[in-house]
Amino acid sequence: MILSVLSSPALVSGLMVAQDKNSVHSVMFPILVFRDTLGLLLLLGLDVSAMMFPVVHIGDIDVSFLFVVMMFHIQIAEICEEVLRYLPVSGIIGLILWWEMFFILDNETIPLLPTQRNTTSLRYTVYAGKVRSWTNLETLGNLLYTYYFVWFLLPSLILLVAMIGAIVLTMHRTTKVKRQDIFRRNAIDFRRTIMRRTTDPLTIY
Amino acid sequence: LWILAPILTLVLGITIGVLVIVWLEREISAGLQQRIGPEYAGPLGVLQALADGTKLLFKENLFPSRGDTRLFSIGPAIAVVSTLLSYSVIPFAYRFVLSDLSMGVFLWIAISSIVPIGLLMSGYGSNNKYSFLGGLRAAAQSISYEIPLTLCVLSISLRAIRFDIVEAQSKYGFWGWNLWRQPIGFIIFLISSLAECERLPFDLPEAEEELVAGYQTEYSGIKFGLFYVASYLNLLVSSLFVTVLYLGGWNIFIPYIFMTEFLEINNVGRVFGITIARWTLPRLRMDQLLNLGWKFLLPISLGNLLLTTSSQLLSL
């Protein structure tokens, strides 16, 4: 029951992302999607991946989308046009993604990916010797930082490039902006800045 | 169903804690500014927070007429709910925690990432240019200080082998606190958690009501009360986490007391310090604030992580 409570709002919110005319709403609906998939992951027992969802997806990706949507001027005339004429191409992409889901879900009965064929041998391993209760976090850390560390470092490099790219693309150097150099400002000696001038006491007004 | 009793106890404790903090803040700020604090509501003004809450309940609940009503209403709720959720992982004494997750601290970091969404929603929903910009600024501040926070927590949990962060501190009493093992991390964590809950000196979203406008401008009545409470709740959670991670949790430096020491005794000093900081330090401008977060705290927290990892390697 909890599964349907969580998964149906996820699907509906996913549809609403594309449907809603208000662009801010259509960026708010992914928050609902992420929250419901977070609940689904928690039901599966993957606590770490579930905790990654608020940090990465809601907290960073969605906030970035919100910043883009809110700060850039999006033409409203584009939103009111007919959506149905995108159906052939979007239908093909949707079918591809749906088909990809079945790669993962039903891999035993429909062997589309080249996995090992001798799947029956897995049933005869002695599990009593293999019981070691690691938490999810420990297993992830153990694998990610030792065996798959290259794949851990590569996304960080990609993210660095993306960050620098975003900054470079949007930065425009303004040479006429007056900036303060705080250290220089603190080092000013007043005896050298205030000029002495004799003032005529009769002509002060 | 028996889980409701601990939840209710915790919620009651939190409510009383917020009341105490609001009163403390008024009294401390009054003392710092050399005036008398609240003295009319209750004896010594203890019920001041209740009086504030009741006043806000009875105020008219305004909606901006052309703003986005649904987002406007949901915005403060998201900020408060996320902050309240992170109370469930704070250990108040040995195993005295509502949900004994193995990654409780990570839950706090994850949930505090949802807060900027609430701020953005409330800034957008009010049909006001300035509160919109204020909401954007508040969200930017919030997300940029999460990273030094997470890195400091990471360097703490590197030292603890199996997430028994607090119990590892209980070995040496006062000198086993993580404060002495990681002084840099303590300072960074303190600053980042202050920035996360938008306290002084990172007060720009809140006090922008004095300056231009914050995301809280169009709010009145109980929705403003929710923001008000969310600020203090966040303060309490942050100071509790500082105490758990760095200041020894529930162990005070008297090692021979067999009664389970509660976290609050350790915590009040922290709250006191934060409140003093609020009223003594000037407010940072927005670009100085983001400058501090990204260019200063982030490299230092990375350096802290590097130091911790290298010391772990050398001692093992």
Instruction: Give me the residue spans of the domains in chain B.
Output: 4-314
Share of chain B above pLDDT 70, in %: 72
Q: Contact A60/B113 with Cβ under 8 angstroms?
A: yes
Per-residue pLDDT of B245-301, as tens digits, reads 776 655 554 433 333 445 566 677 777 777 777 777 766 777 777 777 788 888 899
What CA–CA distance (Å, rounded) separates A4 from B301? 42
Q: Contact B64/B218 with Cβ under 8 angstroms?
A: yes
**CB A47 to CB B109 under 8 A?**
no
Residues of B in contact with A63 (CB under 8 A): 116-117, 120, 139, 143
Burial class of residue A52 in the structure, from the number of CB atoms within 10 Å of its CB (0-12 exposed, 13-18 middle, 19+ buried): middle
Which helix (H) or strand (E) is A150 found in, with range?
helix A149-170
**CB B113 to CB A55 under 8 A?**
yes
Q: Which pLDDT does position B167 carry in this prediction?
A: 46
Answer yes or no: is pLDDT of A81 > 70. no
**CB A59 to CB B68 under 8 A?**
no
Q: How many residues does chain A have?
A: 205
Tell which B residues from 210 to 229 touch A, by Cβ distance under 8 Å: none
Answer yes or no: is pLDDT of B120 > 80. yes
Alpha-carbon distances, residue B308 vs A5, B209, B311 (angstroms): 44, 41, 5
**CB B102 to CB A67 under 8 A?**
no
Residues A87-94 have a mean pLDDT of: 84
A157: pLDDT confidence band, cut at 50, 70 and 90? very high
Question: Predicted ipTM?
Answer: 0.74
Q: Which pLDDT does position A132 carry in this prediction?
A: 62
Half-sphere exposure of B159 (CA within 13 A, CB side): 26
Which DSSP state fits A195? P
- Assigned token pair, A162: 């993306």
| Average pLDDT, rounded, for chain B | 74
Please tell me which of the candidates B107, B136, B146 has its beta carbon nearest to residue A59.
B146
Residues of A in contact with B158 (CB under 8 A): none
Residues of A in contact with B102 (CB under 8 A): 47, 135, 137
Would an 8 Å CB–CB cutoff place A59 in contact with chain B? yes
| Residues contacting A122, CB < 8 A, separation 6+ | none
Residues of A in contact with B68 (CB under 8 A): 22, 24-25
**CB A137 to CB B106 under 8 A?**
yes
B105: pLDDT confidence band, cut at 50, 70 and 90? confident
| Average pLDDT, rounded, for chain A | 73
Q: Which residue has the higher pLDDT, A183 or B149?
A: B149
Residues A25-42 have a mean pLDDT of: 84
Interface mutation target, options A55, A69, A179, chain B, most CBs of B under 10 Å: A55
What CA–CA distance (Å, rounded) separates B300 from B38? 41
Sign for the pseudo-dihedral over CA of B148, B109, B132, B59: negative
A139: pLDDT confidence band, cut at 50, 70 and 90? confident
Please tell me which of the candidates A48, A54, A70 has its beta carbon nearest to residue B114.
A54
- Assigned token pair, B117: 């969404």
The three-class DSSP label of residue A184 is helix
Q: Which pLDDT does position A158 carry in this prediction?
A: 93
- Assigned token pair, B29: 């700020």
Q: Which pLDDT does position B261 carry in this prediction?
A: 45
Residues B57-68 have a mean pLDDT of: 78
Half-sphere exposure of A197 (CA within 13 A, CB side): 7
Which of A26-35, A63-72, A181-190 holds the top average pLDDT? A26-35
Residues B218-235 have a mean pLDDT of: 80
Would an 8 Å CB–CB cutoff place B103 in contact with chain A? yes
Amino acid identity, position B287: D
Per-residue pLDDT of B6-62, as tens digits, reads 788 878 878 888 888 888 878 887 877 787 777 776 676 677 777 777 888 888 777
Tell which B residues from 74 to 93 touch A, by Cβ distance under 8 Å: none
Q: Contact B166/B244 with Cβ under 8 angstroms?
A: yes
Q: How many residues does chain B have?
A: 316
Neighbours of B129 (CB within 10 A): 10
Would an 8 Å CB–CB cutoff place A17 in contact with chain B? no
Answer yes or no: is pLDDT of B157 > 50. yes
Nearest residue on chain A to B132, alpha-carbon basis: A70
Residues of A in contact with B110 (CB under 8 A): 51-55, 59
Would an 8 Å CB–CB cutoff place B50 in contact with chain A? no
Answer yes or no: is pLDDT of A121 > 50. no
Nearest residue on chain A to B111, alpha-carbon basis: A54
Answer yes or no: is pLDDT of B314 > 90. no
Question: Mind spelling out the 3-state secondary structure of chain B?
Answer: CCCHHHHHHHHHHHHHHHHHHHHHHHHHHHHHCCCCCCCCCCHHHCCHHHHHHHHHHHCCCCCCCCCCHHHHHHHHHHHHHHHHHHHHHCCCCCCCCCCCCCCHHHHHHHHHCCHHHHHHHHHHHCCCHHHHHHHHHHHHHHHHCHHHHHHHHHHHHHHCCCCCHHHHCCCCHHHHCHHHHCHHHHHHHHHHHHHHCCCCCCCHHHHHHHHCCCCCCCCCHHHHHHHHHHHHHHHHHHHHHHHHHHCCCCCCCCCCCCCCCCHHHHHHHHHHHHHHHHHHCCCCCHHHHHHHHHHHHHHHHHHHHHHHHHHHHHHC
Q: Which pLDDT does position B202 carry in this prediction?
A: 63
Tell which A residues from 143 to 202 touch B, by Cβ distance under 8 Å: none
Q: Contact B145/B112 with Cβ under 8 angstroms?
A: no
Residues of A in contact with B119 (CB under 8 A): none
What CA–CA distance (Å, rounded) separates B244 from B140? 27
Q: Which pLDDT does position A161 carry in this prediction?
A: 93
